[in-house]
Amino acid sequence: MAKTATKEKEENTTNVKGMFIQRIQLKEGRGIVTYSNDTDAALNAGTFTGKEECTEEFKNLFQNTKDIFGEILPIFRTKLADIRMNAINFDYDKSGFLKKVLFSVVYTFTKQGNVINISTGQIPIYKENMSETTLAISGKDVELLHEVIAKAKAYINGETRTKQMSLIVDNTK
Per-residue pLDDT at 1: 40
Strands 83-92 and 123-124: unpaired
What's the whole-number mean pLDDT along residues 133-137?
A: 86
**CA 16 – CA 156 distance, rounded (Å):** 8
Q: What average pLDDT does the structure give for the chain?
A: 82
Per-residue pLDDT at 163: 66
What's the whole-number mean pLDDT along residues 109-120?
A: 92
**Which residues 6+ apart lie within 8 Å of 16 measured at CB?**
35, 153, 156, 157
What's the whole-number mean pLDDT along residues 30-49?
A: 79
Distances (CA, A) of 137 to 17, 37, 100, 123: 26, 24, 9, 7
Higher pLDDT, 164 or 45: 45
What's the whole-number mean pLDDT along residues 120-140?
A: 86
pLDDT at 15 over 50: no
Render pLDDT for 69-98 as a digit per residue (tens, 0 to 9).
Answer: 999 999 999 999 999 999 999 999 888 889
pLDDT at 148 over 60: yes
Question: How many C-beta neighbours within 10 Å does residue 116 have?
Answer: 10
pLDDT at 132 over 70: yes
pLDDT at 171 over 90: no
Per-residue pLDDT at 123: 94
pLDDT at 41 over 60: no
Per-residue pLDDT at 6: 44
Q: In the chain, what percentage of residues exceed pLDDT 90?
A: 53
Give DSSP secondary structure letters for the chain. ----HHHHHHH--STTTT-EEEEEEEETTEEEEEEESSSSTTSS-EEEE-SSPPPHHHHHHHHHTHHHHHHHSGGGGGGGGGEEEEEEEEEE-TTS-EEEEEEEEEEE-STT--EEEEE--PEEBP-TTS-TTS--B-HHHHHHHHHHHHHHHHHHTT--HHHH----BTTB-
Which pTM does this prediction carry? Answer: 0.79
